[in-house]
Chains A and B, each alone.
Chain A
């Protein structure tokens, strides 16, 4: 019994120790609880909110683009898409099979949808197909009871009502690429589109607007439970362009008759570009929807390069249209109307012969008749007298060989050679022959149709350094362009000569004249060689364009202005490998200028009618 008592005593002592230990450990738990819930409470409260509150961006609607009269050129249309939610649909395969009966069965990829559905959370909507037609939407609505978990979502997508007509000017929008990412968080939104070319790229910041946001409470799986706060964004600004959509349509129709061509009309005083067409074009709507591989490949393979805007990016030898710049350079350098050159069809320079386009020669030429009849020999002569650097200097003043500080996206600079340029780039001395070649806009000289239109505009607007533009500026905000400092007399002589090109019975573009004196046009033809003509070909008369392959044919060019009496518009037309400028390019330019002026007077008549009737 003594042992029993001892046992009880030992037990009591040790049980007390255990109880004490337990009490101490419980106190430890209490202390830890206090630390977490009182000392650190704020920190964990913040973490908890970060956990559950999600900031979602709301994409702003992109600003619309209109022409100068407010006609919509780019808008947002509601894009209906079918989505399917796995957790609501039950038997996915059966629902998809029923969907396939209602939509065209091969219009969506069931395997892709099942794959996506497996990888995403059960409550995330999976897009089955985008861009549903009204017909399809209503068919789905009618059958909704048989399609559990199938919904129709509405998003905005970019739409270009005029399709290919505006493709090059407007550019297009497409998914954001890695290189486009800036600190604007809206770019990270899935499905967000950004301007990739043209106006859409150039004015992207203005058109894009500001994203709104919505604070939502989410659970651990990312499912939205409720919206806590919402802040609407700011839609993109509306943008009006200088273009005239009707004139653009006219020009497009006229150009599609050629395989590959570019044309532009601008206002000679303020630089407004009224029409700018590069043909063939493409449908920018395909890009907003996400272009198919097949369509993309077709565009890339097309030999007439539909994706590039040839008005800004096509660099062509300007041919005889360049004679406007050469003539002005010569007049500034002291050559007078009295200076005469006898053209017998060619000149000889050292052991090389430089031909005039007219085999038998033009006979006696002065500066005006040489422009009118496009005599090459006369221009060889004056170019050799003044030298290439003077020609280059005048060319630059007229806007050749440079990109304009303007809102035209993706311009190419072209090339105006000088002695220094050749030494620096080619590494050899400038040859006299090269001056002769440059005088007729061949050799190294390259310019874009836009530059040729600018050159023409500056030559007929009183020598003002007009710069082309696409964004319309209202009323008072007209730019104040500086004078180029060319003598009025020289400008007068050249403008008269360009008048004669079209309206004189010997002019190279006589067939393209406009009879109405109020709308008469002036201009200059150009035919630029793509390939050098060999002696043998010349002898056998094989350089006749009709006999050549398309690629080897000459480019046809025409620059012009209207009306002759008080110039308003400058035009430049290039038909790639179109043969002769007078035959192919001049009629197009003439039709365009006629249409531009006709539309002006029609509008004026409308306004008068409106004013008098009110």
Chain B
């Protein structure tokens, strides 16, 4: 790269022009809804949540744009590095991690705390996209070529599962499987795996230790948990349902503000939104997410490289899983797994990870017509 400063500056301006600003606007809109909800959750105060969330979002926005402006070929060539780094952090949690609420998920970095499992979801996408991009399409049909990506998925899944965080482990398995699917892995192979799991469950189950069995059962039926997840879900449904069609009004949600609703600033923020803004607010938020995801999918379809397609689609799938699992959970359709609502729930790591993921999507968009060889060389 032999560009002078001036021409580099011109190129940067040109690239910024290329960024899909509608997507950025959507992201900003969702984050702003998040700020409003955090302001309400603190009973009309910016501290402790909203102001911090705004600062993190500002940082994340810059990071997102920076990632987006980096040449997609750079990301292709170095796709395994972020993966390796985040995996190392995950392993670090195992060794030095801080536990919160019974599970070790946090890495204490003095100034702030990081939850590496949030990042892994997106670096995994990067690594898988890289791998499938390089793979000859005919080779996808050969099972031995699927061993490496399976391994890429299995490593973080096993580490996360040990924290224990069965929810995130399943999340990554689902996301990974979806990427396998869009990469073109034959359907019958999924059928075989599904069949194998069905056969394996009754065999493996008795081999699990008591505490492992307990962990799985708690995941499936939270009422067993002494931590009162059953109470949380009931309170969430009461708050949601009592919101009715038009809601109780901003900052007027009685259940949320009288503390009947647990974790209203994190996992159950959608409940508070739906209590205060009713069915219209809830459906409106779902609509915004749908638009965001549609943009992601459109960008993926429009990309000329397989890497770009898989990357954009993979990130979209991960974000979809976040949204779907979180909202289904607070409405009592899925077990309570402790997953934030992306861009809205309080939490710095998830915010940064999601924005980083969209940075990759923007990069795909900006470089949509770039021809990329199998090893990232200009094609």
The residues of A with any CB-CB pair to B shorter than 8 Å are 3-4, 6-8, 10-12, 14-15, 17-19, 22-23, 25-26, 28-30, 32-34, 36-38, 40-41, 43-45, 47-48, 51-52, 217-221, 225
Contact = CB atoms under 8 A, between A and B. Distances in A.
A8 B302 CA distance: 10
B290 A19 contact: no
Q: Which 9 A-B pairs have the closest CB atoms?
A: A44-B241, A48-B242, A219-B258, A220-B259, A10-B184, A37-B279, A3-B137, A41-B244, A220-B260
A30 B259 contact: no
Interface residues of B, number: 48
A289 to B, nearest CB: 37
A37 B282 contact: yes
B73 interface: no
13 contacts: A3-B138, A7-B184, A17-B181, A18-B317, A23-B290, A29-B331, A30-B286, A33-B282, A34-B279, A45-B241, A45-B244, A48-B242, A51-B255
Nearest to A22: B320
Given A3-B138, A11-B306, A33-B279, A44 B237 contact: yes
B136 interface: yes
A38 B240 CA distance: 10
Given A11-B309, A23-B290, A52-B254, A33 B182 contact: no
A11 B279 CA distance: 36
A529 B162 CA distance: 90
Main secondary structure of the interface of B (DSSP, over half): helix
A217 B138 CA distance: 68
B260 A38 contact: no
Interface string B295-312: 001001100001001100
A40 B245 CA distance: 11
B365 to A, nearest CB: 15
Contact of B333 (A17, A32, A40): A32
Contacts of A30: 283, 286
Contacts of A10: 184
A54 to B, nearest CB: 11
A44 B238 contact: yes
Contacts of B293: 19, 22
B327 interface: yes
B295 to A, nearest CB: 12
B238 A6 contact: no
A38 B328 CA distance: 17
Contact of A15 (B238, B241, B254, B297): B297
A218 B274 contact: no
Nearest to A48: B242
B70 interface: no
B330 to A, nearest CB: 10
B340 interface: no
A112 B339 CA distance: 43
B342 interface: no
Contacts of A45: 241-242, 244
B255 A52 contact: yes
B136 A3 contact: yes
Given A3-B136, A18-B317, A52-B258, A44 B240 contact: yes
A218 B235 CA distance: 15
Contacts of A44: 237-242
A10 B286 CA distance: 29
B249 to A, nearest CB: 14
Contacts of B317: 18
Contacts of A36: 237, 240-241, 331
Given A10-B184, A19-B293, A218-B258, 9 more contacts: A15-B301, A15-B313, A29-B331, A40-B241, A41-B242, A41-B244, A45-B244, A51-B255, A217-B258
Given A14-B181, A52-B258, A25 B324 contact: yes
A38 B279 CA distance: 8
Contacts of A38: 244-245, 279
B259 to A, nearest CB: 4
A52 B324 contact: no
Nearest to A23: B290
B184 A43 contact: no
Contacts of A6: 137
B147 to A, nearest CB: 20
A14 B294 CA distance: 15
A48 B182 contact: no
B297 A19 contact: yes
Contacts, number: 131
Interface string B272-290: 0010001100110010011
A48 B254 contact: yes
B241 A37 contact: yes
B146 to A, nearest CB: 16
B156 interface: no
A6 to B, nearest CB: 6
B178 interface: yes
Nearest to B258: A219
B243 interface: yes
B331 A12 contact: no
Given A41-B244, A219-B258, A18 B279 contact: no
Contacts of B320: 22
Nearest to B248: A48
A29 B178 contact: no
B248 to A, nearest CB: 9
A36 B255 CA distance: 15
A225 B255 CA distance: 13
A36 B243 CA distance: 9
A11 B137 contact: no
A8 to B, nearest CB: 7
Contacts of B309: 8, 11, 15
B293 to A, nearest CB: 6
A15 B300 contact: yes
Contacts of B237: 36, 44
B290 A26 contact: yes
Contact of A48 (B137, B239, B245, B259): B239
Contacts of B297: 15, 18-19
Residue picked from A4, A10, A19, most chain B C-beta under 10 Å = A19
B245 A11 contact: no
Contact of A37 (B182, B244, B255): B244
Contacts of B244: 37-38, 41, 45
A219 B178 CA distance: 44
A207 B359 CA distance: 77
Contacts of B137: 3-4, 6-7
B258 A225 contact: yes
A426 B52 CA distance: 92
A566 to B, nearest CB: 74
A15 B260 contact: no
A19 B300 CA distance: 11
A318 to B, nearest CB: 70
B324 A29 contact: yes
B306 A7 contact: yes
A10 B306 CA distance: 11
B341 to A, nearest CB: 12
A34 B283 CA distance: 9
Contacts of A12: 301
Given A14-B182, A23-B290, A37-B278, A48 B238 contact: yes
Contacts of A225: 258
Given A11-B306, A38-B245, A26 B138 contact: no
A219 B324 contact: no
Nearest to B283: A30
Contact of B313 (A18, A51, A220): A18
A33 B331 contact: yes
Nearest to A50: B238
Contacts of A41: 241-245
Nearest to B244: A41
A583 B181 CA distance: 116
B306 A8 contact: yes
Given A3-B137, A6-B137, A26-B290, A33 B274 contact: yes
A25 B290 CA distance: 11
B115 to A, nearest CB: 25
